[in-house]
Amino acid sequence: LAKTTQPISMDSYEGQEVNITCSHNNIATNDYITWYQQFPSQGPRFIIQGYKTKVTNEVASLFIPADRKSSTLSLPRVSLSDTAVYYCLVGDSSNAGKSTFGDGTTLTVKP
């Protein structure tokens, strides 16, 4: 399974755009990139998933360069409620059960 590497923590201020990058140098051809968000004392929640180029939904955007060895989760105009841990996962349906969440990136949004 492709290993992912993310920054341990990031700080931001309300209203700013936040970009969290995940490295996955050994990503396989069939692997998708998925991001989850976890608030304290809650289970993770799916944010976005992509395979290549750019994906956007009502919550975030996901940028994936051509070589797919990294990906960037972009959160526009963050608010205090976006303070959470963000996990990057790499895998496909064949290894879904082994999706490893790693330690994630703790994002702290300050007023």
Q: Which chain residues interact with another protein by CB under 8 A?
A: 30, 32, 34, 41-46, 49, 51, 85, 87, 89, 91-93, 96-104
Q: Is the dihedral of CA 7, 74, 101, 38 positive or negative?
A: positive
Beta strand pairing call for 53-56 and 45-50: unpaired
Closest approach, Cβ 26 to another protein, in A, equals 16
Q: Which CB, 97 or 111, lies closer to another protein?
A: 97
CA end-to-end span of the chain: 39
In the bound state with another protein, the residue whose beta carbon lies nearer, of 81 and 93, is: 93
